[in-house]
Amino acid sequence: MRFMLLFSRQGKLRLQKWYTATAERDKKKMVRELMQMVLARKPKMCSFLEWRDLKIVYKRYASLYFCCAIEEQDNELITLEVIHRFVELLDKYFGSVCELDIIFNFEKAYFILDEFLMGGEIQDTSKKSVLKAIEQADLLQEEDESPRSVLEEMGLA
Amino acid sequence: MSPSVPLQEMIRAIRSARTQCEERGVIQRECAAIRAQFRQADNGGRSHNLAKLLYVHMLGYPAHFGQMECVRMIASPRYSEKRVGYLGAMMLLDEKQDASLLITNSIKNDLSHSNQYVQSLALCTLACMGSAEMCRDLAPEIDRLLRASNSYIKKKAALCAVHIVRKVHELGELFAPAARSLLTEKNHGVLHGAVVLIIELCERNPETLERFRKTVPDLVQIMKGLVLSGYSPEHDVAGISDPFLQVRILRLLRILGHNNEGASDAMNDLLAQVATNTDSTKTVGNAVLYETVLTVLDIKSESGLRVLAVNILGRFLLNNDRNIRYIAMTSLQKIVGTDHNAVQRHRGTIVDCLKDQDASVKRRALELSLALVSATNVRSMMKELLIFLSSCPQELKSHAASGIFNAAERYAPSQRWHIDTILHVLTTAGGDVRDETVPNLIQLITNASELHCYTVHKLYRALLLDISTQSLVQVACWCIGEYGDLLLRGECQETEPVQVTEDDVLDALETVLQSHMSSPATRGFALTATMKLSTRITDNVDRIRSVVSIYGSCIDVELQQRAVEYNALFKKYDHMRAAVLERMPVIEKNSPGHTNGESMGEVKENQASKKPTEPKLLPQPANQVCDLLGLLGGSEETLQPSPSTALGLLTNTPSTAGGNLLDLLGDLEPEPLTPAPLVPVYDKDGVALTLSCEKQSDTAMTVTLTASNSTDSDISSFTLQAAVPKSVKLNMNAPSGDSLPARGAAKVTQMVVLNYQNKVNLKMKIRISYSSRGSTFQDTVQIDTFPGL
């Protein structure tokens, strides 16, 4: 996978993950182009597009478009499954995820994505183990943060 | 995990801004606050600050001042700060920034951290934005992690290694042994990562590919386990056990089995099993089947298996899901060359897909349909394709049109059908066809002599309906001009007769001439056609005369020139008009000069010009040759300025009388090579010069001069100079040398290229100069006749 984008029906970017080194200006241009192309598609159309030398796989979940760019030899159908798996993870984590969750907790969406995919490839094919890992990392973060506040409360910080 | 309150407040504030301006204001304030906080000493909110900055960055605002903060946070001992720091690094730093190198050390330390989640952050960041230097630095660490850590880290290390190999190809060798051993792991995540890594290594290095071929049996085992195993809740997706891993293994098998009999045999049974046992009711099953089909078609599989694969694709074509149909066509496209008959069986379904609503599906169907046209099905396929052309989306029109033309050319069952098809395409999509279509069609029409009447009737009717499609109008004008008499005769076997008067025809042509929609080229066609009709009609010649004289003052220079010439054809050269404007002979295909109708217009004028110019070319003073002495030195005389006749023309016409179009259009067919005769032209004092000629075309010739020395002493500084009459152009190539050793031990050759119009005038004077025995010699010789000419 070259990159993944999440954007709303109004064309607002909610998440972008690039797996190849690209200049900032080029990124912006590509995002604009792709958003235009995907947003112009009608509801029952094919989920696959050809764009430049890449294949674009996109799927709409409620008000968000999940859009991945894969290479010529990659399997489009399994990419649809990858997107679906990511949505399932978000859903499990946030509990019935909606766009607002992703807006207000964008950094967590990134953490989940980084636990699920690395370099564009799946890290673990088991949903359970990905969720467990994120849970553990969150606990670690809380442990890190809470002692502080206790000390502060005691006036010893 | 508790949400970051400061971050959420900021997000709320930004979202509540009602205008872009307001939003910018909020963001500027926030960025100023963030910057101030960065400068302060360590406080509790560092991670929140950076998170805020990252949000602002995602909205598209500049955030480069956060780069150093990322570096600092990554180095912090606190996990929460590391987490956001690494995220910031992945978003703000890329390998092009200098700051990215600063985190190399932090990453190195974190890779050996006691806590696996910290290690995970480092691995993830390295795999996302690691530059080539960072990769080189840290590769040994990654290799260590691949071998000795828990499965959580191993799977991440494998994917990190994939990134490293993509950045620095040579490091693939480093990871190969570790990758091999990872295949024995049970953990699916590790297996998946290992397979991805092996795929990457094999794609980059053919030797590594050879070594990994031995793993085929192991991979087959793993796959069998997945396919035949019972329900495994952890990895199950809609009844398929770990489809992601299955797809990956299939891909690796494809690479290993490609072009290798042994490996392909080993996986045959497995592939058959997967193809038959996988449930295809859901997308995920189809994903696995798709990968299986791709693998079967790419390795040396046995024919039964191939048939099975193509049948799966056939089933996909009938699937309700548009996505499945799309990929079925993509795959069929890949094999239409090799398994043509198998794909032909599904032709009906493919043609139906031409009518699909979706543009992607349409495009695929078009490609495949064009590939499936053959001599047997050309009529029905073409019907479908023409229907498609009339309703296809704009971006596909030109591709479709050229595809149809190619197919029609290859498989046309009859000339009439071919002409009809091209006309149909021009009427539906004439604006999108390529430029060569017009001359190609004209050439086709001239070749179909029995259909001239039919063609001109059809084109005339098309012209009456619509004059906006330039290509169609151009062909129509040409035909009407050429075969107007057939049109006026009224009767035609192939189509219903229609009464057309001379005025009607001239009206049609005038409409084209005057319309704003007509391009200058089209108007040229129309004017020429009008002119041609002057010999084919009887009553309205005056009308034509007046049209032609009106355009004599047209602003468009092209039209004006033509009109003036035609005017002259009416006045001064009226006696030649009939000959000039008579029917064109059949045009041969592959004539190189055949670009568009305009050149043919010029050709006719040239034909006319030949007669008046010939008398002028002949009386060239025969004593021009005597001028040569003063002009020695490889003179390049310019062509005699073309005699400006009333017709004002080019003079590159060789004087072949009659309508030999091929020569006029510069046909460069070289004459059969007979061994060029060597003619001695000079022999004095032991120095001999021979000449041989080779004709390149009617207007060019290469002359080779060979000099030899039969005296007893060596000759040095041997040079040849040549001069030719003014009407001939001369080009001397460099001589092979300038010394002639004694007794003919070696020769000197020199090539001269001559370009001329008139063979009659071809003469050459050569001056020979050389030094021998300390003194210089000079001589001249004139060549009046050239052998082989």
Residue type, B640: Q
Question: Which of B57, B114, B110 shows the shortest CA–CA distance to B81?
Answer: B110
Name every chain B residue with its beta carbon within 8 A of the beta carbon of A68: none
* Structure-block tokens of residue B139: 């590769």
pLDDT in tens, B312-342: 998 898 888 889 999 998 888 888 888 788 8
Angstroms from B31 CA to nearest CA on chain A: 18
pLDDT of B615 reads 37
pLDDT of B584 reads 79
* Structure-block tokens of residue B184: 């024995």
Per-position b or e across A22-34, b if 16+ CB within 10 A of its CB: beeeeeeebbeeb
Per-position b or e across B454-491, b if 16+ CB within 10 A of its CB: bbbbbbbebbeeebebbbbbbbbbbbbbbbbbbbbeee
Band the pLDDT of B143: cuts 50, 70, 90: very high
Question: Which of A81, A107, A105 shows the shortest CA–CA distance to A95?
Answer: A105
d(CA A62, CA A95): 15
Nearest beta carbon to residue B159 from set A82, A85, A119? A119
Angstroms from A137 CA to nearest CA on chain B: 6
Match 């008579």 to its residue by tokens: B582
Name every chain B residue with its beta carbon within 8 A of the beta carbon of A136: 117
pLDDT in tens, B750-759: 888 888 877 7
User: Which helix H or strand E contains B94, and what residues bound it?
Assistant: none
Nearest beta carbon to residue A122 from set B3, B83, B192? B192
Tell me the percentage of chain B whose pLDDT exceeds 90.
14
Angstroms from A77 CA to nearest CA on chain B: 5
Match 């010069």 to its residue by tokens: B689
Band the pLDDT of B661: cuts 50, 70, 90: very low
pLDDT of B392 reads 82
pLDDT in tens, B755-771: 887 776 678 888 888 88
User: Which helix H or strand E contains B780, and what residues bound it?
Assistant: strand B775-783
pLDDT of A146 reads 66
Q: Which residue of B has its CA nearest to A78?
A: B287
Contact B83 A111 (CB under 8 A): yes
pLDDT of A86 reads 95
Angstroms from B411 CA to nearest CA on chain A: 31
Band the pLDDT of A31: cuts 50, 70, 90: very high
SS (H, E, C) chain A: CCEEEEEECCCCEEEEEECCCCCHHHHHHHHHHHHHHHHCCCCCCCCEEEECCEEEEEEEECCEEEEEEECCCCCHHHHHHHHHHHHHHHHHHHCCCCHHHHHHCHHHHHHHHHHHEECCEECCCCHHHHHHHHHHHHHHHHHHHHHHHHHHHCCCC
Window from A3-17, A78-92, B284-298, B394-408 with minimum mean pLDDT: B394-408
Sign (positive/negative) of CA torsion B515, B519, B522, B524?
positive
CA B71: distance to chain centroid?
47
Contact A107 B54 (CB under 8 A): yes
pLDDT in tens, B50-88: 888 999 888 888 888 888 888 888 988 889 889 999 999
Higher-pLDDT residue of A45 and B669 is A45
Edge-to-edge strand list for the sheet holding B748-755: B679-684, B687-697, B700-709, B748-755, B729-732
Sign (positive/negative) of CA torsion B21, B27, B32, B35?
negative
In B188-279, the DSSP E strands lie at 236-237, 240-241
Bridge partners of B753, per DSSP, are B702, B731
- Cβ contact B60:B49 at 8 Å: no
A2, A72, A124, best to mutate vs chain B, most B CBs in 10 Å: A124
Confirm or reject contact between A33 and chain B (CB < 8 A).
no
- Cβ contact A104:B3 at 8 Å: yes
Confirm or reject contact between A94 and chain B (CB < 8 A).
no
Contact B79 A144 (CB under 8 A): yes
- Cβ contact B562:B527 at 8 Å: yes
Residue A112 has pLDDT above 90, yes or no: yes
Contact B327 A48 (CB under 8 A): yes
- Cβ contact B764:B723 at 8 Å: yes
- Cβ contact B478:B516 at 8 Å: no
Confirm or reject contact between A133 and chain B (CB < 8 A).
yes
Window from A97-111, A118-132, B708-722 with minimum mean pLDDT: B708-722
**pTM of whole model > 0.90?**
no
d(CA A8, CA A15): 10
Q: Between the CA of residue B247 and those of A125, B308, B593, what are the distances in Å?
A: 12, 18, 55
Q: Between the CA of residue B430 and those of B216, B420, B427, what are the distances in Å?
A: 55, 14, 6
Residue B613 has pLDDT above 60, yes or no: no
CA B695: distance to chain centroid?
36
Average pLDDT, chain B: 80
Residue B45 has pLDDT above 80, yes or no: no
pLDDT of A54 reads 92
Confirm or reject contact between B52 and chain A (CB < 8 A).
no
| Mean pLDDT, range A56-64, rounded to an integer | 93
Q: Which residue of A has its CA nearest to B7?
A: A104
Q: 3-class SS at B487?
A: helix
**Degrees, nearest 5: CA angle B610-B612-B614:** 60
- For the beta carbon of residue B653, count every other beta carbon within 10 angstroms: 18
Q: 3-class SS at B768?
A: strand
Instruction: Looking at mean pLDDT, say which of B89-93, B438-442, B608-612, B678-682 comes out highest.
Output: B89-93
